[in-house]
């Protein structure tokens, strides 16, 4: 299965190796998860699976990731243009005015510690993102978008054709230097986000507060904008919604447990059946006045029943957690690599095992040592 956002530039894949991921002695934040600064079972892929299978709102996460990718495209595009300015690329001198060259030079180094909303970066990064958006707004839109007064439906069909592969359609022409991202790619990326998530009746339409979607639609189609600042309000709104409604449940499911809902239901059923079998067998052996040695077989159903019911109650399989695994999907498991989460699960596993042994021992002693009485 493809990792969500695998087509982001290298600078954002490197975030997962951040020192914060190894020294953090707390649960991660949503922003750290989205920026790949965490490890399984609280990594971005696990959160994606949780949003898809349990929260049923993966469209919000996909929107956030697509807007983050759009921001990355803009940064990459401006970075390459700035490099062209520094080396004096002739094509750029033809295309850009002196004022635009000075604007590019003023942006400075384009290294980033994050790929999220500008409000999460430091002041320098916020200012840099604002400069990138200002620069893109000041540049004339690609001429291919001015050939005719295309309707919204025609432009939507064109963008859908170009982006059917799920990634921006790369084109290179005289309006941009020779680099991986062309100006048309930025425009196509913005239109993809609009037509996929924001227009009424879109394939994966998301619900935003107020007139956020209408404002973005107007700015893209009438204002001809495609700069990343265009999506900041919507991106922040989606982030806050995920942080409030989905992320606490994700941490409960992945940082304090290692089982998924279908498995929990199966364990509840198995536990109840095994416990019923233990009680039925125990009473039968007592009233048949069987020996205590024979009654020791009751340990098996009682142990299975109590263990599975404890797993259901705490959403945790203690043996599997102690071995270092967490369930991702049915019959698919992932190694627990987040240090703090591993410590949490080990402590909880020991507690669950202690409860299991205590209850199991009480039941076994009661049904094994009680005097028999043949009816």
Alpha helices for the chain (secondary structure H): 10-13, 20-23, 30-34, 44-50, 58-87, 90-95, 98-107, 123-138, 152-162, 183-193, 212-221, 232-245, 247-255, 261-287, 292-295, 299-314, 318-323, 339-369
pLDDT of residue 108: 47
Task: Check: CB of residue 277 under 8 Å from CB of residue 215.
Answer: no
d(CA 342, CA 219): 47
d(CA 198, CA 156): 12
Question: Is residue 20 pLDDT above 70, yes or no?
Answer: no
102-100-71 Cα angle (round to 5): 105
Within its chain, how far is the Cα of 126 from the centroid?
A: 23
Rounded-to-integer distance, Cα 358 and Cα 353, Å: 8
179-213 pLDDT, tens digit each: 467 888 999 999 999 999 999 999 899 999 889 99
pLDDT in tens, 292-315: 898 999 999 999 999 999 999 999
Q: What is the pLDDT of residues 337-357, one digit of tens each?
A: 999 999 999 999 999 999 999
Give dist(CA 331, CA 324) in Å, integer: 15
pLDDT band at 140 (very low <50, low <70, confident <90, very high): low
What residues have CB less than 8 Å from 177, skipping those under 6 apart? Answer: 80, 81, 84, 89, 91, 92
């Amino acid at each position: 299965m493809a990792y969500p956002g695998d087509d982001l530039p290298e600078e954002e894949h490197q975030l997962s190796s951040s020192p914060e991921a190894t020294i953090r002695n707390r649960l991660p934040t949503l922003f750290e998860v989205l920026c790949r600064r965490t490890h399984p079972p609280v990594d971005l892929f696990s959160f994606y699976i949780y949003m898809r299978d349990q929260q049923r709102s993966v469209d919000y996460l996909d929107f956030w990731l697509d807007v983050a990718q759009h921001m990355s495209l803009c940064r990459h595009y401006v970075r390459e243009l700035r490099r062209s300015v520094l080396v004096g690329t002739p094509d750029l001198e033809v295309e850009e005015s002196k004022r635009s060259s000075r604007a590019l030079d003023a942006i400075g180094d384009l290294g980033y510690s994050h790929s999220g909303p500008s409000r999460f970066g430091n002041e320098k990064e916020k200012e840099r993102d604002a400069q990138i958006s200002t620069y893109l707004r000041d540049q004339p839109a690609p001429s291919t978008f001015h050939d005719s007064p295309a309707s919204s439906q025609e432009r939507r069909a064109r963008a859908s054709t170009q982006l059917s592969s799920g990634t921006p359609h790369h084109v290179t022409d005289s309006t941009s230097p020779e680099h991986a991202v062309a100006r048309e790619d930025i425009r196509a990326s913005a239109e993809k986000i609009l037509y996929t998530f924001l227009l009424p009746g879109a394939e994966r339409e998301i619900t935003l507060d107020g007139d956020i979607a209408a404002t973005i639609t107007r700015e893209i189609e009438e204002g001809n904008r495609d700069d990343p600042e265009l999506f900041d309000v919507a991106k922040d709104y989606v982030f806050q919604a995920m942080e409030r409604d989905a992320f606490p449940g994700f941490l409960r499911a992945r940082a304090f447990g290692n089982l998924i809902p279908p498995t929990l239901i199966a364990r509840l059923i198995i536990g109840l059946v095994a416990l019923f079998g233990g009680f039925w067998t125990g009473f039968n052996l007592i009233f048949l006045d069987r020996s205590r040695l024979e009654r020791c077989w009751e340990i098996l159903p009682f142990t299975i029943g109590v263990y599975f019911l404890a797993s259901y109650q705490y959403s945790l399989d203690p043996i599997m957690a102690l071995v270092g695994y967490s369930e991702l999907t049915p019959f698919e498991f992932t190694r627990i690599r987040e240090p703090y989460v591993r410590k949490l699960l080990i402590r909880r596993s020991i507690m669950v095992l202690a409860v299991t042994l205590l209850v199991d021992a009480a039941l076994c002693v009661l049904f094994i040592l009680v005097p028999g009485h043949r009816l």
